[in-house]
């Protein structure tokens, strides 16, 4: 497990300690994972805008049921 040394403004550090319920590392880990997930969702959304799907959701349901389009 990696150890990091970070600097935060005093008010931010105090708010973090209060919200972390004694586990600052877990609180920071959750925040970082959420931030990474948000960035990935934005990347996927941008990709989908540039590369629209060939079939609609309704078409995919029909295909999955073996029905013609």
35 in any annotated domain: yes
Full 3-state SS string of the chain:
CCCCCCCCCHHHHHHHHHHCCCCHHHHHHHHHHHHHHHHHHHHHHHHHHHCCCCCCHHHHHHHHCCCCC
Confidence tier at 23 by pLDDT (50, 70, 90) = very high
Percent of the chain with pLDDT over 90: 81
6, 7, 8, 58 from 11: Cα distances, Å: 14, 12, 8, 51
Q: Which domain holds residue 39?
A: 24-69
| Domain count within the chain | 1
28 in any annotated domain: yes
Q: State the CB neighbour count (10 A cutoff) for residue 45.
A: 10
Residue range 46-62, pLDDT digits in tens: 999 999 888 899 999 99
């Amino acid at each position: 497990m990696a150890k990091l040394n970070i600097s935060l403004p005093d008010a931010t550090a105090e708010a973090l300690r209060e919200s972390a319920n004694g586990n600052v590392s877990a609180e920071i880990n959750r925040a970082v994972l959420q931030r990474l997930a948000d960035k990935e969702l934005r990347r996927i959304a941008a990709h989908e805008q540039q590369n629209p799907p060939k079939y609609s959701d309704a078409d995919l349901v029909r295909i999955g049921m073996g029905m013609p389009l």
